[in-house]
Amino acid sequence: MDKIYTIIIYIYFLCLLFLVNACTQNNNIETSTISTEYSQKLFKKEKICFPLDDRADTKAVTILPYYGKNNKNYLTFLSKSENAILFYYLHKNELAFKVKYKLEGPNGVGSIYGYTIVDFDSIFVLGTRGYKGYLTDTSAVVKETFVLEKSDAETHSVDLSAATREPITVKDDKLIFKGIPGGEAFASDRYKYSIFYYWDLLNNEFKSLDFPLPENLYKDKHWVWTFQEGNYTVNDKGQFVVSHEVAPYLRVTDFNETQTYESKSDYIDDIPPLSKPDIESGLRQWKTENYYRDVAYDKYRNVYYRFALHRQELIDEKTGDENPWDSRSWSIIIMDSAFNKIGEKYMPPKQYFFRDWFITEEGLFISNNNDNNPNLDEDCLSFTLFELKDV
């Protein structure tokens, strides 16, 4: 009788072990093998390198192609270590010139956060801890200064930001910036405030545009502060296409009307909010949880790319080390001009850096300068070209 009892217990434990194992495996979706049929695919082509001297870092933050007069085309990027915008000839990959900004003095702009180029005589720079803007030119002379602080009735503070994923945009005599409402990181009313602000170039006023975070995703929910923003691109109709970090959709707006289009990654099942709003849980959410990032309009092919960052474990099983935020796998969702999903490209971990990219007639260039890439070259701003083709 005892023997039978022992065997039953043994079988019971085996079943339990099997169930636990099955549950664990289910959590780790084998992401690289997802294969949904789509009409378009990004094909990896050649690598290119913009050589960096010993004063420039591999992380660019803002990258903008600029198409100048007489077919002189440039790739420009922000070298924070030099407080300069570097202009490289786009097809020769050679440095053309640098526009170096002073930190202080009559032509001082503070540390540059971001910039946009209208032409060589009109370069708008966001500097001085993000609350002053400057109209400058390629000789780094400050022609005008804008104090970007709220001047209307609203009382909350705003931190303006500018990067490749949130480009300063000139539209209808307005200089439009992304702004993050200041205050407590987990303040319950943060979602009520707009994430877009503008400098009125005609009336010299700083105001907000009516575009708060979607209430259904943010009201009564806790997210790390970096999930309470939005990344955007501007399409050929002048509409802002916004990718909120936790939204399975894109919002398309002209700031009068806003439409929503589904935009989900095959690799993201869900994005759970925080159970408790504290710094440690927030940082863990940012480092490990699924979320959406940059959205980019490709005017040459009339498509959109949306970057989806995949969930990763906090601790690397092999090394026992904490995984850096940018060591995870990610994917590029491809959507046509009507926001129908037409493809999704899986990007392996530790190889590409999703923050730095640009688009030209040739295709989408993604940075190879991921700090976790064992082949990282510190003297080269390196990109891989991805070409969009029919499957």
Closest approach of another protein to the CB of residue 157, in Å = 14
Which residue, 24 or 319, has its beta carbon nearer to another protein? 319
Q: According to CB under 8 A, which one of 32, 51, 59, 351 is a site residue for another protein?
A: 59
CB of 343 closer than 8 Å to CB of 334: yes
Separation between Cα atoms, residue 209 and residue 198, nearest integer Å: 7
CA geometry: angle 331, 335, 340, nearest 5 deg: 125
By the 8 A CB rule, do 76 and 119 touch? no
- Does the footprint of another protein cover residue 57 (CB under 8 A)? yes
Task: Name the residue among 74, 105, 77, 76 with its Cα closest to residue 91.
Answer: 74
CB-CB contact of 379 with 52 (8 Å): yes
> Could you say whether residue 322 binds another protein (CB under 8 A)?
yes
Identity of the residue, 16 or 279, whose beta carbon is nearer to another protein in the bound complex: 279
Residue 130 or 363 having the CB closest to another protein: 130
Please report how close the Cβ of residue 218 comes to another protein at its closest, in angstroms. 22
Neighbour tally for 192: CB within 10 Å: 14
Is residue 81 involved in binding another protein (CB under 8 A)? yes
Reduce the secondary structure of 147-193 to three states and give it as a string. ECCCCCCCCCCEEEECECCECCEEECCEEEEEEEECCCCCCCCHHHC
Judged by CB, which is closer to another protein: 28, or 319?
319
Q: Which stretch binds another protein (CB under 8 A): 153-161, 290-298, 344-352, 375-383?
A: 375-383
Between the two ends of the chain, the Cα-to-Cα distance in Å is 65
Written as one letter, the residue type at 380 is: C
339, 241 in Cβ contact below 8 A?
A: no
Smallest separation (angstroms) from another protein to the CB of 125: 17
Cα 147 to Cα 102: distance, rounded to the nearest angstrom:
18
Q: Which of 55, 100, 102, 389 binds another protein (CB under 8 A)?
A: 55
Would you count residue 70 as binding another protein (CB under 8 A)?
no
Structure tokens at 183: 């205050």
Is 58 one of the binding residues for another protein (CB under 8 A)?
yes
378 binds another protein (CB under 8 A): yes
Residues 271-290 interacting with another protein (rule: CB under 8 A): 279-280, 283
State in angstroms the smallest separation of the CB of 68 from another protein: 29
Per CB under 8 A, which region of 170-178, 265-273, 289-297, 373-381 contacts another protein?
373-381
Residue 66, CA distances (Å) to 26, 75, 94, 168, 388 in order: 46, 6, 15, 14, 22
CB of 294 to another protein, least distance (A): 19
324 binds another protein (CB under 8 A): yes
Of 16-24, 49-57, 163-171, 203-211, the window that binds another protein (rule: CB under 8 A) is 49-57
Contacts with another protein, 95-114, as mask; x by CB under 8 A: ----------------x---
Binder of another protein out of 41, 138, 372, 380 (CB under 8 A): 372
- Asked if 355 contacts 77 with a C-beta cutoff of 8 angstroms, the reply is no
Query: By C-beta, is 287 or 341 nearer to another protein?
Result: 287
Cβ nearer to another protein, comparing 58 with 233: 58
**Choices 35-43, 304-312, 320-328, 346-354; region in contact with another protein by CB under 8 A:** 320-328
Spatial strand order of the sheet with 364-367 comes to 40-51, 380-390, 364-367, 353-359
User: In terms of CB distance, is 361 or 379 closer to another protein?
Assistant: 379
Alpha-carbon distance 201 to 170, whole Å?
A: 10
SS3 296: strand
Q: Which of 67, 299, 371, 391 binds another protein (CB under 8 A)?
A: 371
Rule CB under 8 A: choose which of 2, 30, 46, 54 binds another protein: 54
Q: How far apart are CA 260 and CA 44, in angstroms?
A: 31
Residues of the shown chain interacting with another protein in the complex, contacts defined by CB under 8 A: 54-55, 57-59, 81, 111, 279-280, 283, 319, 321-322, 324, 371-372, 376, 378-379
